[in-house]
Amino acid sequence: MLRTPRARQRAIAILTAVALGFGLAACGEDSDDSTGSPSDLHTAADGIVYNDADIEFATDMIPHHAQAVAMVTLSDGRQLDPAVQQLAGQIRDAQVPEVETMVDWLTSWGEEVPETSLDHSNAGHDMDMESNDMPGMMSDEDMNALENASDEEFQAMWLEMMIEHHRGAIEMAETEAAEGRYPDAVSMARSIKSSQEAEIGRIEQLLGR
């Protein structure tokens, strides 16, 4: 899919604040033509077929990923074990491109791209969307506590919070894998589930469990 200038600009708006250091169900069988009721299916201008589950997945996962990237940014400059630093970089490297891809999808479908606390216009401001009922999302209070944690407390707190955040993303990914219609979205959901389950395993080891 070609990335439009508007989509690229929207993705940059979501993620640039991170680069500047802002502190703040089963996955079963492949989705096929039987997935979704007729009223649930949509066809984009380029002929791509998708459904409401695909829209919800991208719309919710963008702010979910953005918050994970914000958590990674809060780890910058902290005294962390090398393995934790490596994990943080891996999370950022995986999730920033996924946000850009999901922005492309929503833009091409004519759907609204959600704002996040990483947008320039919202940086440093509380946003209700980041304390809603999406699984695994940290509240503003959680994020403030992480930002203000001492160096002695930060690493363990960050790891525990990332486990919870990853589990929420896995839950969302499982729903998309089971109910989504757009093959690329279903594929991303399965990749998120697999990679974040593996990262949870690494975090558990880092916590000595």
pLDDT digits (tens, 9 = 90+) for 34-76: 455 666 899 988 888 999 999 999 999 999 999 999 999 999 9
Is residue 199 over pLDDT 80? yes
Do residues 167 and 197 make contact, with C-beta atoms less than 8 angstroms apart?
A: no
The answer to whether residue 2 sits within a structural domain is no
pLDDT band of residue 118 (cuts 50, 70, 90) is low
Q: What are the residue ranges of helices labelled H in the chain?
A: 5-19, 52-75, 82-108, 140-147, 151-179, 183-206
Let me know if residue 7 belongs to a domain.
no
In angstroms, the CA 209 to CA 203 distance is: 9
More confident residue, 56 or 14: 56
Question: Within a domain: residue 30?
Answer: no
**Structural domain includes residue 13:** no
What pLDDT is recorded for position 133?
78
Half-sphere exposure of 134 (CA within 13 A, CB side): 25
- Range with lowest mean pLDDT among 17-21, 72-76, 202-206: 17-21
* Buried-exposed string 64-96: b where 16+ CB fall within 10 A, e elsewhere: bbbbbbbbbbbbeeeebeeebeebbeebbebbb
- Is residue 62 one of the residues assigned to a domain? yes
Assess if residue 107 is contained within a domain: yes
Reported as a pLDDT band with limits 50, 70 and 90, residue 21 is: very low
Q: Determine the structural domain holding residue 185 and report its residue range.
A: 51-113+140-209
pTM above 0.85, yes or no: no
- Is 49 in a helix, a strand, or coil? strand
Domain membership of residue 126 (yes or no) is no
84 part of a folded domain: yes
| Number of domains present in the structure of the chain | 1
Mean pLDDT in residue range 11-32: 45
Contact between 135 and 171 (Cβ < 8 Å): yes
| One-letter identity of residue 208 | G
Interval 165-183: pLDDT, tens: 999 999 999 999 999 999 9
Kindly report, residue by residue over 90-115, the tens digit of the pLDDT: 999 999 999 999 999 999 999 999 98
Range in 21-25, 52-56, 192-196 with the lowest mean pLDDT: 21-25
CATH number for position 147: 1.20.1260.10
